[in-house]
Structure 1
Amino acid sequence: MPGDGESTVDAASASAPRQASMFDACHVGVVLRVVLFVEAVVGVAAMFGAGEAVDWLLRFSLLTGGVLPATLAWLIAACALKSYLGRLPPSPQWLAGMALGALAGLYGCGMLALMGLLQPAPWSASAAAGALLSAMVLAGLFWRAKARTPAATAARLAELQSRIRPHFLFNTLNSAIALVRAEPAQAETVLEDLAELFRSALADPTESVTLGQEIELAQRYLAIEQIRFGERLQVEWSLDAGASQARLPPLLLQPLVENAVKHGVEPSASGAQLKISTQRRGSRVVVKVTNSTPAGVGERGNGLALANVRERLLLLHDVQAQFRVVFKDGLFQVRLEVPA
């Protein structure tokens, strides 16, 4: 067992927040937005000097033939070099990004010149245009990166408020106290599960964890709640081992399970059924949390918690993530879909 000094060092290192990279251009959503933005600028630029729609279309096609490959080249370079560029001070990061943009502009101009579509080739103007467009793209990526860090911090604080609820803590401790004399081993297990949940809630707010880790935490939480509700809580697991390495924001699954217990089991005298399933479908992983609801109870839930989960999921996976809530025939289901 590590000494107090080692634990202090680990806790101190874990508390250091992980900064989002301004050059995080590897996400599909970022690529799509950058390409659409550049193409919009090209479309406006093609309007100058175009008398008719046909002229505009020809100009737009000509410019796209050089600008699109240059844009993709910039995105590939930014993605490949993001670790190195992310370690630079802020000003050199901007200069490096604009330099890559200038090179990309020269690359696009060179392609059009080789095809004989630009005579004479405007090398200086292409480099300047590439640097200017890259600066505008970097500004968008900068604000995106800036939004990720405080959003992750705020999400973590919201999770702490949701996770360590006083009544949950008191109920768990009361359950453990009641078991101390009759079932000391079970009481010890309950306290170990509670300690693990607290440790995870207070751990390093890293960008992502595996689905397998989230499943393990959810199992610990439900083991605690099983002591309190007994047969009223009926849990069914349907887990695909091939889905366990999918990445999720930390403490994403447990609040969904807690919502299911709160709105499905607690209000029902006869209890409720809770099912957690994971399934890998090609390059995608589908996670479902489904619970039955008491008769006569409509769709309800912690809207803030669900909105928090949705936002954190989109921050991590952008357009590659899907989040859907369905209430039908007395069943409330939250469905997540993320890259495998």
Structure 2
Amino acid sequence: MQDSRILSTFHDPASKLPLSQMPEHRQAGELLFETCQLGIVLRAVLFVQAIMWVAALYGAQGLVAWLERLAILTAAALPSVLIWLLVTCMLKRVIGRLPAAGQWTCGIALGAVSAIYGCGMLSWTHLVAPAPWVASAATGALVAAVMVAGLVWRSRAKEPAGTTARLAELQARIRPHFLFNTLNSAIALVRAEPAKAETLLEDLSELFRHALADTKEDVPLRQELELAEHYLAIEQIRFGDRLRVEWNLDDKASAARLPPLILQPLVENAVKHGVEPSPTGATVRITTKRRGSTVIIKVTNTVPAGSGSPGNGLALDNVRQRLELLHDVEGRFQSALVDGVYQVRLEIPI
């Protein structure tokens, strides 16, 4: 059931990105590092705290002394790193307008200033005397430089993965058997029902327009739903009453951002593994719901008894990886077969 079968069996070599789009040739107006995601905040805090744990070992005589030194260092480091993350997140538009060197300098300088603030808190509470201002600034700048480097590396690592994902999805959109089936359906309708043939070709044109477009990193959910609607309209002509589609959409969820063409493979899988193998067809249900700051997307389909053996799940892995790249720990992906109904559930922050 998890066999995608919507990806082509051949892979074209990824074409090189234009020089201006390569990570090492970023221009002003492109943010090098992002600090506004929850996963990044958690990792940064744990990274700095780990440094404090090790630093507290120097000169500590026993467990009690180590805990005392750790408490003092944490009192300075934790507010400093949180301030750095907060300020760089708030100023990301301003920082993004700077050239690469300026963004690095800004991130490191803010680290030094944040560390001075932490040192000032210790001095104000008389936990340290005299206050190590220069050492604190140097430490803050160094830690900030390491974190900026890690975030820049993470941002660069996303680009080839995103390019590979877009190529895989592009191949899925233009796979020959889908195109041939659609065109054959149109040919069969041209004389008997020309109006339906025209509608089918319009839906096909819209589908390929989205698939071949130069997509961005993320798109609104409403665009993905429109694309799925065009695809299902095409398959509705092909399968007729065997394909039963149910929509349960929440307008409040339509502004959620998700990777482009991420819903399409799930809908195609539902048709491929629910409708095609069943002589009576299947019901494909698409549901969206906003709950607080989270949008839940469900794609379900009934599965005929004794359907084919599960495959390697390429499409599902593709969706899961791209969701993780965009939303990190805030995005969730789940899939399961329950009581003859295959369910895919996505959770997207908004």
* TM-score normalised by structure 2 residue count: 0.89
Structure 1 residues 292-311: Cα deviation after superposition (integer angstroms, max 9, x where no partner): 11202377356111111111
Match of 1:120 among 126, 130, 140: 130
| Aligned pairs, number | 325
For residue 52 of structure 1, what is the aligned residue in structure 2? 62
Match of 1:224 among 227, 230, 234: 234
Deviation at 1:71, TM superposition (A): 0.5
Q: 1:224 to 1:302 in 2, by over 3 A?
A: farther
Match of 1:306 among 297, 316, 331: 316
Equivalent residues in 2 for 1:158-237, closer than 5 Å: 158-237=168-247
Match of 1:293 among 282, 303, 323: 303
Paired residue secondary structure (1:245):
coil
Structure 1 residues 24-43: Cα deviation after superposition (integer angstroms, max 9, x where no partner): 10111111110110011111
- Whether 1:256 and 2:272 are equivalent positions in the alignment is no
Deviation at 1:17, TM superposition (A): 6.0
Amino acid at match of 2:57: M
1: CA distance, partners of 2:340 / 2:106:
56
Does the CA contact (< 8 Å) of 2:32 and 2:100 recur in 1? no
Does the CA contact (< 8 Å) of 1:286 and 1:336 recur in 2? yes
Does the CA contact (< 8 Å) of 1:263 and 1:301 recur in 2? no
Amino acid at match of 2:102: P
Deviation at 1:245, TM superposition (A): 1.1
Does the CA contact (< 8 Å) of 2:224 and 2:264 recur in 1? yes
User: Does 272-281 or 301-310 show the bigger shift?
Assistant: 301-310
Q: 1:192 to 1:155 in 2, by over 3 A?
A: same
1: CA distance, partners of 2:344 / 2:303:
14
Does the CA contact (< 8 Å) of 2:266 and 2:299 recur in 1? yes
Match of 2:253 among 243, 247, 250: 243
Amino acid at match of 1:138: V
Amino acid at match of 1:93: Q
- Whether 1:27 and 2:29 are equivalent positions in the alignment is no
Deviation at 1:217, TM superposition (A): 0.7
Amino acid at match of 2:56: A
- Whether 1:102 and 2:112 are equivalent positions in the alignment is yes
User: Does 87-96 or 294-303 show the bigger shift?
Assistant: 294-303
Q: 1:243 to 1:67 in 2, by over 3 A?
A: same
Structure 1 residues 49-106: Cα deviation after superposition (integer angstroms, max 9, x where no partner): 1122221111111111111111011111211222232333333322221111111111
Paired residue secondary structure (1:56):
helix
Structure 1 residues 296-330: Cα deviation after superposition (integer angstroms, max 9, x where no partner): 23773561111111111111111111100111222
User: Does 117-126 or 18-27 show the bigger shift?
Assistant: 18-27
Equivalent residues in 2 for 1:137-152, closer than 5 Å: 137-152=147-162
Does the CA contact (< 8 Å) of 2:31 and 2:92 recur in 1? yes
Paired residue secondary structure (1:47):
coil
Does the CA contact (< 8 Å) of 1:17 and 1:204 recur in 2? no
Which one scores higher on RCO, CA 8 angstroms, separation ≥ 6? 2
Going by fraction, where is helix more abundant, 1 or 2? 1
> Structure 1: where are the runs of 5+ without partners?
1-15
Amino acid at match of 2:101: S
The root-mean-square deviation of aligned C-alpha atoms, in Å, is: 1.7
* TM-score normalised by structure 1 residue count: 0.91
Amino acid at match of 1:310: R
For residue 86 of structure 2, what is the aligned residue in structure 1? 76
User: Does 215-224 or 296-305 show the bigger shift?
Assistant: 296-305
Paired residue secondary structure (2:56):
helix
Identity %: 63
- Whether 1:316 and 2:326 are equivalent positions in the alignment is yes
1: CA distance, partners of 2:187 / 2:307:
34
User: Does 86-95 or 73-82 show the bigger shift?
Assistant: 86-95
Match of 2:48 among 38, 57, 75: 38
